[in-house]
Structure 1
Amino acid sequence: MKHYQDNFAHEHLPDESLRPDIILGHPDFQFNGSLNCVDKLLDDHIREGRGNTVAIRTFETTWTYQDLYDKSNQIAHVLTDELGFVSGNRVLIRAANNPMFVAVWFAVLKAGGIVVATMPLLREKELTVMIDSAEISHAFCDYRLEEEMALVKSSFLKQMITFDGSETHMSKLETLMHNKPKTFQNYHTMADSLALIGFTSGTTGKPKMTSHFHRDILLICEAFPKYSLQPKPEDIFTGSPPLGFTFGLGGLVLFPFYFGASTFLIEKPTPELLLKAISDHKVSICFTAPTAWRVITTLVKDYNIASLRKCVSAGETLPLKVWEDWYDATGLKIIDGIGSTEILHIFISSNEENMRKGATGLPVRGYEAKIIDGKGNEMPVNEPGRLAVRGITGCKYLNSPDKQQEYVENKWNITGDIFRQDEDGYFWFVARGDDMIISSGYNIAAIEVESVLLCHDDIAECAVVGLPNEERGMLVCAYIVLKSQADANDDKVKEIQEWFKKAAAPYKYPREIHFVDALPKTETGKIQRFKLKTTAR
């Protein structure tokens, strides 16, 4: 079926035989036929007379649903009238969490585009790989982040439009929006038309592009939030994850708007600012990572958080001590959860009624899970094994049949996590099944850091591992063989770290660097990272 004028994304979907089972049995999960998810998330609020209801707050401004609707429609007109856009084009968004980011996100879908939302910390190299891999034709970039975007050189990128996420002056987009109509006929996408592409952490070489349909966007709103949050229109959501993460997109945009609630966006969400938002603006639902919950716990006594009713943690496993310290300080229970970019959002979690502290929880409505061995056989109770999941959403890598077959086995999604399941069905995190480093909620691939380090003129070889760290969960640690051993000193450590922050996203830089004469290897030349982890401890 041809969904768009530019059908690149649909043509590169995995064959149906390689996709996981999708189970849509419950009546709440029936999103079929002609469907543009923006109708439900935004336009319905206007049609049903809720335009004056607050949709987005920041410390500086407030937007109603009508404001968001008007601006999204004007931006959609800019895309279709001014920028040579055709349906199915991939459109990149580069900005911190702010109202204009959300307006552009909705506008792209209204016009029949496919959104590629990115994090503001990404650098030119990473952005270029994304643009080339997804053949992105258009980019919207906050003018405050334009410098790095301007370095991108790609034959695919036809238009780069700046906007002002701070809403203090006129950038190019605001100029183009002027006098554009505030109504727009949404493109008639289908339930299984692609709506977004999310890149996994592998942004060197050929990164993995996860893809999700318009129906998937709405399906996750019927899953985790109904299971764990029970949202109400009067709720105010906030949190720290970037909207470029599907964790942040769901928690800070999709879930509040699906239920007619509002969101409080913070461009640089420190623990102090999260607490200030909760205290001053009566936030009721907060999403952030375990590292932030740990810090927030030490500060909470100085703030009034009486409005807060739901606390959500994801991005890395929630340590029991963080849960206990927060509960002791506030009487609130943190809801832990595990999700993935491939499956779109959280698929195992808990609610206040069934929570078992220390456990990740039970499959949320719409999903089922099991623990399997290397051959796909189910493991006995309490025996660690690979986590397998299936349900209303699932992995659809674009242009990567080999990776698709690694992630999907026997029609189940294999997440790469090691879990155990107890006699009552609860799932308990054990470890990651690969060399992924999860630091302060960010997924960082060791090989990704290594590929950047090897671009340094003075580095001959390197290996990167994750080391346990109480504050961040894990630290990125690099073992480096220099071309000249005489250069190995503390100044060289600092120089490499500062160089790395300019070459790639700063959150990926190695916080620990050890200079070594040689790296441990097998006879075939493969680096034995497990020996480096043992040495570090």
Structure 2
Amino acid sequence: MELIKNYLPRTEFASYEDFKENFRIQVPDDFDFARDIVDRWAAQEPDKTALVYCNDEGFARKFSFAELSQLSKRAAAYFISLGIKPGDRILTLLRRRYEYWICAVAMARIGAVVVPASIQLTEKDIIYRVDSAKAKLVIALNDPFVLEQVKNLREKCPSLLDILIVGDQPQEQYRGFNQEYIEYDEWNHYSGCANSDEMIIYFTSGTTGYPKMAIHNRTYPLGHILTAKYMQCVQNNGLHLTQSDSGWAKFGWGNIYGQWICGSAILAYDPVRFNPRNLLQALERYKPTSLCIPPTMYRFLLREGLEKKHVESVQWFSTAGEPLSGEVNKEFHRITGHYIHEGYGQSEGTPITCGFPWLPVRPSSMGKPSPLYQVALIRPDGTLCEQGEEGEVVIFTNGQNQLGLLTAYYASGEMINPVQNGIYHTGDIAYEDKDGYYWYVGRNDDMIKCSGYRIGPFEVESVLNTHPAVRESAIIGHPDEIRGQIVCAVILLNQGYTPSDELTKELQDYVKQNTAPYKYPRKIVYLPDFPKTTSGKIMRRKLRDIIISQVV
């Protein structure tokens, strides 16, 4: 029997309205991801594929659920031998190495809490996260940059018991995870933790101060049933690829929880650096049946010469993490015959709105609200917006726990309730059209306030990215004594184009001609590259700091 039927009274729906009204997830009193999903698949279908790992160096390895169950039991015994107990937190710096899945399941098995982190973090960033989480272990990739960042952690982080290094070549000054855990006998027990206990913590940045800890409980995987089955449309016995570093919440959306509950294997494509040509080759070779990658990657695939043959196996394309240009979606459809379906959400939860399967795609739209949440748009005074009016995306909780939504923030030594007066605030601005589709405008803190106008970065970027000279653009607000802020466009140029006053004027006029003139960029800065995450997402705060430091 498909495991998903243990949690969904109904899996099929006739329309979005039927889905919105009748979709339900049944949450058992003591859900255990290791026991109820990994071990149950291992018992029912031992040879069922769980994970297909590959990299650009030609290494590939396939794992069945039976094998992952056994390996995670050995890792659990190993962690226990190192002094790890239920509730202890373990920070990982593992990119997309297959060991992440072994470790994550092992932690769920013993009740430890995984704290994923990006391998781009520097020593200062890592120390802050270890100290904030009071992490007992760090499990890090055998990578020169990562090793340099973790070498002083033992002396600087009082909570830390040890550092484990993942890789085939052990490092003398560290414990080798691969060499040690495999020697342990399987730990055939379960944590006995409650649904309300912690399972995973993401660090998420706000507008001020250091990143906060977003804490999810042990029912978090069940919330991602909606992500996997109705946003990414994964298939039982299919192969799904969500391209994301394990340090980001998008990894949890697309690489383990909902996908395994739905019976899909994960394609763990693990490049050291993103290369669109290599990704096209991986897609053609491994033939995933569903694909979810950031809008930036779709753009690069198109520019790399995407052809239908590269993605013939893929039956459903989706994206999340940042807005998708309508022009990119239309061009993708022209080449492949498929549209890309957008999902919108945050590290704090599961999809809030989505281009669900029953909805005709409207390029650039966020789709319609998820049935998991009571979603609305509100004004600053808390009243509901009219259709067509911009407002903040919020979730009304009605005093009830929201499946998949964080249970608490932790910052500056105190727990913070993310729900205030029955409302969870996303900080994102959108509007609803007459047919109920939501359209993204920008982050509350990214909104540019110029001479009384509120300007969303995405709407200007969408225009600039269609100009033949522009390879990529990012819009930020730049301080201005007269207007408060002005629109500043940071531009990456295509080959054959060079910065000039003439090109700047041409781009400014192009924006004026294709959107409201007041939105045009009064300042344009050309850069050779953008600071990005490993999944290709522009790091706007760092970009803003770079530009302001150059200009001031």
Q: TM-score range by the shorter chain?
A: 0.7 to 0.9
Matched residue SS, 1:109: helix
Report the CA distance between 1:92 and its aligned residue.
0.6
1:125-136 pair list within 5 angstroms: 125-136=124-135
Report the CA distance between 1:475 and its aligned residue.
6.0
Deviations 1:471-490 (A, max 9, x none): 555267999xxxxxxxxxxx
Matched, 1:31 2:27: yes
Alignment-derived partner of residue 423 in structure 2: 412
Alignment-derived partner of residue 355 in structure 1: 360
Does structure 2 conserve the Cα–Cα contact (< 8 Å) formed by 1:36 and 1:214?
yes
Distance in structure 2 (CA, Å) of the matches to 1:500 and 1:228: 25
Report the CA distance between 1:515 and its aligned residue.
5.6
Does structure 1 conserve the Cα–Cα contact (< 8 Å) formed by 2:221 and 2:258?
no
Deviations 1:225-281 (A, max 9, x none): 332344322211113221222212221222321122111112224322332222111
Matched, 1:324 2:337: no
Does structure 1 conserve the Cα–Cα contact (< 8 Å) formed by 2:446 and 2:476?
no
Does structure 2 conserve the Cα–Cα contact (< 8 Å) formed by 1:208 and 1:397?
no
| TM-score in terms of structure 1 length | 0.75
1:90-105 pair list within 5 angstroms: 90-105=89-104
| TM-score in terms of structure 2 length | 0.73
Change (3 A) 1:472 1:125: farther
Alignment-derived partner of residue 407 in structure 2: 396
Matched residue SS, 1:157: coil
Alignment-derived partner of residue 19 in structure 1: none
Does structure 2 conserve the Cα–Cα contact (< 8 Å) formed by 1:372 and 1:387?
yes
Distance in structure 2 (CA, Å) of the matches to 1:331 and 1:366: 30
**Structure 2 counterpart of 1:307, which letter?**
S
1:195-214 pair list within 5 angstroms: 195-201=199-205, 205-214=209-218
Matched, 1:429 2:440: yes
1:177-216 pair list within 5 angstroms: 177-201=181-205, 205-216=209-220
Change (3 A) 1:320 1:86: same
Distance in structure 1 (CA, Å) of the matches to 2:65 and 2:264: 10
**Aligned positions, number:** 445
Percent identical residues: 20
Matched residue SS, 1:278: helix
Matched, 1:217 2:226: no
Alignment-derived partner of residue 253 in structure 2: 250
Change (3 A) 1:473 1:262: farther
Change (3 A) 1:498 1:366: closer
**Structure 2 counterpart of 1:279, which letter?**
E
Does structure 2 conserve the Cα–Cα contact (< 8 Å) formed by 1:95 and 1:142?
yes
Report the CA distance between 1:203 and its aligned residue.
11
Alignment-derived partner of residue 156 in structure 1: 159
Deviations 1:39-85 (A, max 9, x none): 2331111121334535333242222222222221111101102x111
Alignment-derived partner of residue 75 in structure 1: 75
Could you say which structure has the greater relative contact order, defined with CA pairs below 8 angstroms and 6 or more residues apart? Answer: 1
Does structure 1 conserve the Cα–Cα contact (< 8 Å) formed by 2:214 and 2:410?
no
Matched, 1:285 2:290: yes
Report the CA distance between 1:382 and its aligned residue.
0.9
Change (3 A) 1:321 1:515: same
1:306-317 pair list within 5 angstroms: 306-317=312-323
**Structure 1 counterpart of 2:220, which letter?**
D
Does structure 1 conserve the Cα–Cα contact (< 8 Å) formed by 2:109 and 2:191?
yes
Matched residue SS, 1:31: coil
Report the CA distance between 1:396 and its aligned residue.
2.9
Deviations 1:386-438 (A, max 9, x none): 11125533343333599946x5333121101111112222111112111489x
Matched, 1:89 2:88: yes
Distance in structure 2 (CA, Å) of the matches to 1:379 and 1:190: 39
**Structure 1 counterpart of 2:166, which letter?**
F
- After TM superposition, the structure 1 stretch with the greater mean CA deviation from structure 2, 230-239 or 396-405, is 396-405
Distance in structure 2 (CA, Å) of the matches to 1:385 and 1:42: 41
CA RMSD, aligned part only? 3.4
Alignment-derived partner of residue 531 in structure 1: none
Alignment-derived partner of residue 547 in structure 2: 513
Matched, 1:41 2:37: yes
